[in-house]
Amino acid sequence: MRNRKTTLIGAVAMGILLLGACAQGTDGGDAEFGGDLEAAELTLMGFSDPDEIGQTRWDIADAAIYPAHVRPSEGGFDIQAFLAANSAGNPPDLIYFNRGDFIGTLASLGAIMPLDACIAAEGINLDDFNQAALAQVTFNEQIFGVPEFNQVQLTMANGDLLAAAGLTLNDVNGSDWERMTVANEALHVVEGGRLAVIGIDSRIPEHFPLWVVSNGGQLVSDDGRTAMIDTPEVLEALEFALSLMDGNNGFADVMSLRDAADFWGEGNQFATNAMGAFTMEQWYMNVLMGATPDIPLAVSPFMSRQTGQPIAFSTGSSWAIPVGAENPAAACRFIANMVEVDSWMAAAQVRADRIAGEGGVFTGLLTANTTADRAIRDAFIVPSGSAVWDSAIAAMYTAADHHFFMPPLPADQEFRQAWVDSVNRVLQGTMTARDSLAQGQAEAQRALDEGWARMEDRD
């Protein structure tokens, strides 16, 4: 009986060890790039349902890796699915995801390959790239991803409401917080105890980093080792962004009214005069152009309170190759072709043709490839005949020259959760700004310390 028990326990222990071994990632990292490719079907996670910009480049990149071929994926990047595939020893050949979400963590855990050799072998010209975007995929002095798109946040305002209140874009674009407070008061409307028009929506927590950098602060040190969530600059930024919410009858009312708008359609908040001004990513101009091309939109780069210069937080997608990928050479060539200047130009041509056929305005493209951006702007951006859209496009390109970024961290998500929750607690009134940021600082620093220690242990 005792022997049977011992055998059973031994079998269970062995099973656990075996499963544990299965769960380990392979060391990898020594993949060879360049040269001739073999016929194979590459697997991909995170890139699906491309528009003409994605599809055109996909066709070019897929042809470039012949006789290999990339099988299209379904749905966006799902970290749970990726981890499951990785644990089963069957990671995809390519992953495509928001570079700010996981790249530092996946790199620190050894789940994705450094791509320096890939970049050299395929002749990807790093000088073409936006340096903020490139910095976001550079961890421990190695490049772990190839950035694709790049976004900027802009101040978008309702020109009619501004004019009616005797205001200009300079009153709402972030450069002068005192003027913003006055403008917020002038623009917002409360009817029957409920907010009817949002004056200025500070869009926190999403755009909190904008307000922090505008005020001369930052959320993490440049080396990614020290959280800086509870500094006076951050506290002041949070209190100001919150005061804009409070001036609009409180965050709950702002959020409810924002959610109630037909964000993607003809009943959007500018068309219905329900929004004075807010910060928003540049792609929303395309939505507005498609749904309501005649709205009185006024667009400006978001301006730094401290320097008076435009600022924008670099965000966007990125390609990476998991450790253990079966066809890293083909994956690398596919990526190189997806982000090449010629591919972007071909894609822009297709979109410009489509929009011209529909009688619309091509609002440009913001990629992580600055050379491509310039070439597209030179080739396809022409005066549209609409001062509104021409100035909006100009504002977008101006903002694109003034990116800041958050470095990749070994605890990307935990760090982000720490500062997002700090802001949320204040928005929901469950904690004072000072206390909440102090708690966030402790949580963020602990996450960073443990993340770096985990990586160093692994090394």
Partner 1 sequence: MSVSTIEGVPGVSPGTPVSPEKRRLRLTTKRRNLIAAMLFISPWLFGFLVFTVWPMIYSFYLSLTNFDNINAPRFVGLENYQRMMEDPRIPRTLSNTFQFAIMSVPLSLIVALLLALLLHKATMGTGFFRTTFFLPRMTPPVAVGVLFLLLFNGHQGLINQLLGLFGVNGPNWTVDPFWVRPGLVLMSLWTVGGTSLILLAALKDVPKELYESARVDGAGALRQFWSVTLPLISPQIFFVFIVNTIGALQTFSEAYTAFFGGGADAFRNEGALFYSIHLFEMAFRNFRMGYASAMAWVLFVIIMIITGIQWAVSKRMVFYSGDS
Contacts with partner 1, residue ranges (CB under 8 A) = 12, 15-16, 19-21, 23-25, 79-80, 83, 86-87, 101, 105-106, 109-111, 192-195, 205-206, 208, 251-253, 255-257, 259-260, 411, 413-414, 416-417, 420-421, 424-425, 427-430, 439, 447, 454, 458
Minimum CB–partner distance for residue 79 and partner 1 (Å): 6
Q: Tell me the closest approach of the beta carbon of residue 416 to partner 1, in angstroms.
A: 5
CA gap 369, 126 in Å, rounded: 9
Alpha-carbon distance 404 to 382, whole Å? 28
CB of 228 vs partner 1, minimal distance in Å: 17
The span from the CA of 41 to the CA of 39, in Å, is: 7
What is the token pair recorded at 281? 């990513």
CB-wise, 333 or 416, nearer to partner 1? 416
Distances (CA, A) of 40 to 32, 62, 170: 16, 12, 56
| Number of C-beta neighbours around residue 408 at 10 A | 24
Q: Least distance to partner 1 from the beta carbon of 7, Å?
A: 16
Residue 448: CB minimum distance to partner 1, A: 12
CB of 29: closest distance to partner 1 in angstroms?
Answer: 13
* 100/159 with CB nearer partner 1: 100
> Which residue number, 110 or 147, has a Cβ lying nearer to partner 1?
110
- Minimum CB distance to partner 1 smaller for 286 or for 413: 413
- The string of DSSP letters for 222-235 reads TTS-SB-TTSHHHH
Tell me which H or E stretch contains 96: strand 94-98
Alpha-carbon distance of 95 to 85, in angstroms, equals 12
Which residue lies nearer to partner 1 by CB, 251 or 380? 251
- As measured in angstroms, the least distance from the Cβ of 443 to partner 1 is 8
Query: At closest approach, how far in Å is the CB of 88 from partner 1?
Result: 12
Structure tokens at 10: 């031994």
* φ, ψ for residue 262, nearest 5 deg: -85, 80
- Rank residues 41 and 262 by Cβ distance to partner 1 and give the closer one: 262
Amino acid identity for residue 174 in this structure: G
With respect to partner 1, which residue has the nearer C-beta, 72 or 429? Answer: 429
CB of 137 to partner 1, least distance (A): 17
To partner 1, the closest distance from the beta carbon of 415 in angstroms equals: 10
* CB-nearer residue toward partner 1: 47 or 129: 47
Measured from the CB atom, is 15 or 383 closer to partner 1? 15
As a whole number of angstroms, the distance between CA 303 and CA 157 comes to 14
Helical (H) or strand (E) element with 333: helix 328-338
Nearer to partner 1, 35 or 192 (CB): 192
Burial 110-131 (b: 16+ CB within 10 A, else e): bbbbbbebbbebbebeeebbbe
